[in-house]
Structure formats: C-alpha cells, structure tokens
Amino acid sequence: MLSHMPLSEFSLIDQYFRRSQLRDDVQCGIGDDAAILRVPPHTDLVAAIDTLVAGVHFPAGTAPADIGYKAMMVNLSDLAAMGAEPAWATLALTLPESEPDWLTAFSEGFFAGASSCNVALVGGDTTRGPLTITVQVQGFVPEGRAIRRSGAQAGDRLFVTGSLGDAGLGLMYATGQRRDQDDAVQQVLRRLNRPEARISAGLAMRGLASAAIDISDGLLGDLQHILDASDCGATVWMDDLPRSSAFSALVRPDEASWYDLPLSAGDDFELLISVPEAREADFVATMQQTGVAVTAIGHIEAHPGLRCIARDGVRYRPLVSGYQHFS
Ligand SMILES: [Mg+2]
C-alpha cells in the first residue's frame, strides 16, 4: 500500500522556505503546528488555491525558478480578480526526490513572486511523489467590497488589462510548435514563465467594476464564467483585442493564431472586467493613474450567448472553446 512518505519535512521547509518575516500581521509563521494570522478589523478574508502539475500545467523541462514564480503568481492573480490585497500563502510541495539545486532555484522564484506582492509564506508541507505544487493564498478586502463574477449587467462595457495571447504563443515556442530567431520570442516566453498578477489593477477597480475574472483559461472561456454567473450574454469585438508588440512581430494577421491565441489561449493572467456605463470614464481614468493599460473589447447584453464579431460583420467560430492545458 502506498503511504504518505515525508521527505524529512522539517529540514526541507526550514532550510529552503523559512525566511525572515516581512509582515507584522503574522503572529506565528513556519515552525508551529499552524500559523497564527491577524486579520485587520472590518475586513473580509479572501482565499484562493491552485495546483500546478508537471507535464499538465507546465512542460516538464520548465526551469524550477520559473515554476516557483508562476505557482505564486497564478494564485495572486485570483486575488487580483477579486479586488483583494494579498497577504499570506501556504505551500504544499510534492517532489519525486529532494534535490538541493532544484529546491534552491524553486524557492528563489517562489519568494521573488511573493515578496514582489508583499506576501509572507506562513506554512508548508512536503511529500514524496510526482512533481506537484499547491499554493494557497489569502488576502483582504474591506467588508463587502470584493468583486465577484456574478455582478455583470446588460449595458456594461468589457475591458481587459494589458495584452492577450502572449503566453499561448510562448507555449508554442516552448513546445517546439513554432521556431523563430527573434528577441520577441524571449518576451512571449517570459509572459508564459513569469506572469504578473494584476494586483494594482484589482485594487483600483474596487467600487468601479461590476464583475471581474482573471484570464487563466482563455478570454472566451473565462468570459463565459462571468456570463454564467451573471445570467447574461456578451458581444466581443474581435478587431479590438489588445496584442503586444512582440505578438504582432511574430504572428501575421492572416494566421489562425492571430485570433485563436488572444481569444482562446490561457495563462496570460490579465483581468477581464465589466464596468457599468456610468462608471466607465472613472474606471479608465483610475486605470490610467494606476499605470495599467486597459482596452474595451465588447459589452454585456441581456440576450444570452457569447458572440465574437469582426468589424465587417463576420462571426468568429473558435476552434477550441477554452484553453487546453499543455499535456
Ligand atoms: Mg481565476
């Protein structure tokens, strides 16, 4: 019978994951049976968890520092989508073997992501098995101010932060489906391996957005989650999708990927935000002050369903709806 086989848990966590505490709301972090954390008054605690499995969520050859960084960021992205301010994290690490070089690089990437968002690791657990990383994060919002998927209403405008399709394009290079010699390739690989959670945009949309989600599985798939939760439909103007200069340098507009990747590829971790018409000008001005680019890509409608329309009126039918994870 297979049993739980600890990987000398205490020394591993102590050696690689115990860092000096950067938050004074951590009453007790790593080193006891459980962490003791002080939640500020009049605050809702927002929690998210995500698991990355080698060969499913990232190619098996991914650099350990990138895996650590991404494991943290995909979780922080979920907090960003709720309008939450990140605070704490716990880590469950399943490893085939205890390899010092791998653990050193992984923890460096992990803490680079954590400290960039002022997040303290307050607990950890290690087990032997196929490489799997589970991170849970907690953050705060003022009572009742979290943004949900369910608040979108007909007439709301749909915005996305940043640009779409880079991570999906990066994955095509990482897996050898595309080959090019160009600096832009490094840029899209970085979007794949070192995503940035849109924390500041998440905080700035409080009080302005009616609904939001982070784009982890592809724009259309994640928009559908908002539509399901809000019981409405939407039109996306596919000529308005924001693409990075790296993307535009690598993909020609007559390639299927020009539309497929921004609409359906995952892992960009941008925010998709619906904003009531009356708050649109405020929203745009606030995002400008925050330094986050936002692009209007469509609107919410009462009529159910998701329509993707080009300016010439042609409707787009995606090859796949929702992101197929790497495997
Ligand atoms: Mg999410």
Cβ partners under 8 Å of residue 195, min gap 6: 70, 73, 74, 77, 167, 267, 268, 269
Of 321 and 96, more confident: 96
Q: Tokens for 11?
A: 């020394």
Summary mean pLDDT of the chain: 92
Could you tell me the maximum CA-CA distance found in the chain, to the nearest angstrom?
63
Nearest to 156 by CA among 236, 240, 275: 275
Residue 138 CA to residue 35 CA, distance in Å, equals: 13
Mean pLDDT of 27-44: 92
pLDDT for the residue numbered 319: 52
For residue 77, report the distance from its CA to the centre of ligand 1, in Å. Answer: 7
Cβ partners under 8 Å of residue 148, min gap 6: 82, 211, 229
For residue 217, report the distance from its CA to the centre of ligand 1, in Å. Answer: 8
For residue 159, report the distance from its CA to the centre of ligand 1, in Å. Answer: 16
For residue 50, report the distance from its CA to the centre of ligand 1, in Å. Answer: 9
Indicate if the pLDDT at residue 8 is higher than 60: no
> For the chain, how many residues are written?
327
CB atoms < 10 A from the CB of 294, how many?
23
Q: How confident is the model at residue 192 (pLDDT cuts 50, 70, 90)?
A: very high
For residue 14, report the distance from its CA to the centre of ligand 1, in Å. Answer: 30
Q: Which of 20-29, 90-99, 116-125, 202-211 has the lowest mean pLDDT?
A: 20-29
Q: How confident is the model at residue 179 (pLDDT cuts 50, 70, 90)?
A: very high
CB atoms < 10 A from the CB of 5, how many?
8
Q: How confident is the model at residue 2 (pLDDT cuts 50, 70, 90)?
A: very low
For residue 48, report the distance from its CA to the centre of ligand 1, in Å. Answer: 9
For residue 71, report the distance from its CA to the centre of ligand 1, in Å. Answer: 13
Indicate if the pLDDT at residue 123 is higher than 80: yes
Indicate if the pLDDT at residue 318 is higher than 90: no
